[in-house]
Amino acid sequence: MNYQQTLDFLFQRLPMFSRIGSAAFKKDLTNTLALCDFLGNPQDRFKSIHIAGTNGKGSTSHMLAAIFQTAGYRTGLYTSPHLRDFRERIRINGILCDQDFVIDFTRRIQPMIEKLEPSFFEITVAMAFDYFAQQEVDIAVIEVGLGGRFDSTNIIRPELSIITNIGWDHMNLLGNTLAEIAFEKAGIIKPDIPVIIGEVIPETRPVFEKAAQYSPLVYAQQQRMVSDWQYKEHHLFTDVVETQTDRHQHYQLDLSGIYQHKNLLTVLEAAHQLEKTGWKTDHATLQSALKQVKKLTGFHGRWEMIRQNPTVILDVAHNVDGLRQVREQIELSDYHHLHIVFGMVKDKDVSSVLSLLPEQAHYYFTQAQIPRAMDAGDLQQKAFEKGLTGKVFPEVNQALQHALQNAHPNDLILVCGSVFLVGEVIH
């Protein structure tokens, strides 16, 4: 098989969560363990950082990868899902994994595919671990796909575990209370491995403390606070104060969403913990890395501006907490009229998300080209019940083109609601 044939095989042969939803999620690590055993347990041949959370785990993963790269380490990065190219999931120093490796790995693993009937995610995790071991990375930053306890990535023994926050998402799989969701995320906590919690609330604190009774536990928000921040020229400028020493440090982020200041506190504490164990994550390295995360790691889709006059922003926010943060960013943005190109997948809490969207906007309802996507007409009807009105378009680029035709140069156009929708935008 050539590369395209290999991708077609992987996408069509294996159950894929992004396409079919919960039917592709297995509450079991057996397949991943068997796949990696067949490969010689590559997960044991490199050091790693493990990151879970409802929101922010992608940003946190990319920021940490940028820091390790800037410090001179050969850095692996595993994230999901991808926006455009399958190989975005598996990178070393920001470079996508080799097409030839994907072909060779798929050929080698094919007997196990026939034997185990694994999911697409189980195969991609094994692929990433095999690539990182083969390429002899110094460290790999591993983002959890969904949950934590039964996520395929949860067979590693990392240097550090991180849980960014707990919010409402995937309740059909993770639980109907924040404590239940936290329990699943806390499944990545391992004895004697330090764990950092980015944001904590009264419902989740007891869950984390029980799970971490044999692990050093640190709450990032207790160590530092953002005393001031400024959003200008699509960069975020922050003043961070350490609560113990009252020392101030300044950081400039090329990830411009104002919600990144929460992720920044988690990243800074992670760097501090890692520096204590010998990793080169000093202040100068942090400052240099955080200015150029997108350039170093190829990170996209978080309050990302793709054009001006009118301004077009892409953001992969797709759940209640994510859209709440996006709305806050909208309220701080300078524009004349607001246009929102919007689509969701049907297994999300669509009603709650729609309740957060501003009524004073022109809407263009659309859908990603996957089976999980909510029909744009159905979405329009649900939105109408919330006081939101707009036209329906069969795919995102047509919707965006209409928004551009209707917008004035000083308007703001936002594309959001689904990772898959953002991934289909041509720019």
Domain map of the chain by residue range?
3-297, 304-423
Q: Which pLDDT score, from 0 to 100, does residue 146 have?
A: 85
Residue 349: which pLDDT band, with cuts at 50, 70 and 90? Answer: confident
- With a pLDDT cut of 90, the percent of the chain lying above it is 80
Predicted pLDDT at 160 = 98
Q: For 193-209, what is the mean pLDDT?
A: 94
Give the pLDDT score at 17. 45
Mean pLDDT across the stretch 103-121?
A: 94
Q: Which residue has the higher pLDDT, 175 or 210?
A: 210
- Residue 63 CA to residue 267 CA, distance in Å, equals 7
Place of tokens 């920001």: 94
Contact 393/364 with Cβ under 8 angstroms? yes
**Count of alpha carbons within 13 angstroms of residue 46, beta-carbon side:** 26
Q: What is the pLDDT of residues 292-331, one digit of tens each?
A: 999 999 999 989 999 999 999 999 988 888 898 899 889 8
pLDDT value of position 20: 44
Q: Which amino acid is at 357?
A: L
Between residues 372 and 172, the one the model is more confident about: 372
Confidence (pLDDT) at 407: 97
Residue the block writes with tokens 């039917």: 23
- Indicate the CATH number for domain 304-423: 3.90.190.20
Confidence check: pLDDT of 175 > 70: no
> DSSP readout, 10-44?
HHHHS--HHHHGGGG--S-SHHHHHHHHHTT-GGG
Q: Provide the pLDDT for residue 363.
A: 98
Rounded to whole angstroms, how far apart are CA atoms 200 and 86? 33
Q: What is the mean pLDDT of the chain?
A: 92
Confidence of residue 72 (pLDDT cuts 50, 70, 90): very high
Residue 333 has pLDDT above 50, yes or no: yes
| pLDDT higher than threshold 80 for residue 271 | yes
In CATH terms, the fold of domain 3-297 is UDP-N-acetylmuramoyl-L-alanine:D-glutamate ligase (3.40.1190)
Is residue 247 scored above 60 in pLDDT?
yes
pLDDT at 233: 76
pLDDT over 70 percentage in the chain: 95
Judge whether 196 and 269 are in contact, CB under 8 Å.
yes
With residue 407 as reference, give the H or E element that holds it: none
Q: Which residue has the higher pLDDT, 171 or 2?
A: 2
201: closest CA among 172, 168, 173?
168
N- to C-terminal Cα separation, the chain: 30
- Element holding 251 (H helix, E strand): strand 248-253
Contact 326, 55 (CB under 8 A): no
pLDDT at position 16: 57
pTM: 0.92
DSSP 98: P
Q: What's the whole-number mean pLDDT along residues 55-79?
A: 97
